[in-house]
Homo-oligomer: A and B are copies of this chain.
Amino acid sequence: MSLSRAEKALAREECIVAIENAINQTTFRWGGMKLVSVDQFDRATIAELFSVTDVMKSMVNRVGGCDLLTGKILTTIFFEASTRTMCSFETAMQRLGGQVVRVNASTSSAKKGETLQDTIRCLECYTDISVLRHPQKGSVPGVAKYTVNPLLNAGDGVGEPPTQALLDLYTIHNELGGKVDGLTVVLLGDLKNGRTVHSLSRLLTNYSSITLRMVSPASLAMPDEVKEALDTSSITYTEHRSLHEVMSEADVIYVTRVQKERFEDPEEYLKVQGTFDICAQTLKDGNAKDDMIIMHPLPRVGEIHEDVDSDPRAAYFRQMKNGMFVRKALVALLLKAA
């Protein structure tokens, strides 16, 4: 073996030891878990997840992949398309040395009248962990009761995809020096329909001294049920119609898309169009902090201009990458005792 290959093999071995140590230090019962909601997490479990995620990130940067999960197979079962979420889980598994089987759910036996529960239980016979996305609200927790293998919810209709909120929170944690307490987070855009900001808001209630600035058109304001959950927490929040007035204090600006089709009256859309977009000049005019970050769940359609991409504060592609790291940590943790 050439020296460089021997060195790489050694580095991979070191990474596996680091991952095993990180996993062994966790105390929550991760093994075999059915992860269906962010409500299953608290500050302590999030901290455990993020410490394993840090090791995963370092492993990918150092050696790309390792063979921790040799002999394990993950199946992605998507009853509605979500290319990135699917690819993110699949590459997460591959970089851990496991293998992936993708189920094209649209051609599965569900068409023959089979129950969702039976479909998943059959596919489980071949594999070790399942990632499930289904358009019907509550379907994933419903089926989780019957599965034998660990299960990860990749979205169920209007319900929440918990891994998105976790990767969003991990990005804040990772970009801003490992702290979340005390931050000011601006949520921008369509706060009524954007599921990601709802889940993120709920996750943030696990931290102290958080300030949320909610900036949206009046008709797309944060729903009452989310605000009521915040009212019982230590989070301070205010609502705004303009980004400019809160820009300078933001540690994080989390941008979501304002979709034309959400407006009943096209006139109303035309009035706000562009108000919630960000370009390089917007950041300058608003005196954005030097060490703040701009996040977006992607895809974007113009609400962050491409002239922001080269700004070091533009964190959305790193955020995308963090999705893979968080999912790697989850897959490894859930297979821990399996």
Contacts and interface: CB of A to CB of B under 8 A. Distances in A.
Interface string A34-65: 00000000000000000000000000000111
11 contacts: A2-B17, A73-B94, A83-B103, A84-B109, A94-B101, A109-B298, A109-B299, A118-B299, A122-B298, A122-B317, A122-B320
Contacts of A75: 87
A271 interface: no
B73 A95 contact: yes
B122 A301 contact: no
Copies, count: 3
A29 B322 CA distance: 30
Given A75-B87, A109-B84, A125 B300 contact: no
Given A83-B107, A104-B83, A299 B122 contact: yes
Contacts of A266: none
B65 A121 contact: no
Interface of A: 1-2, 5, 8, 12-13, 16-17, 20, 63-66, 70-73, 75, 81, 83-84, 87-88, 90-91, 94-95, 99, 101, 103-104, 107-109, 112-114, 118-119, 121-123, 125-128, 298-301, 317, 320-321, 323-324
B126 A299 contact: no
Contact of A301 (B87, B99, B114, B125): B114
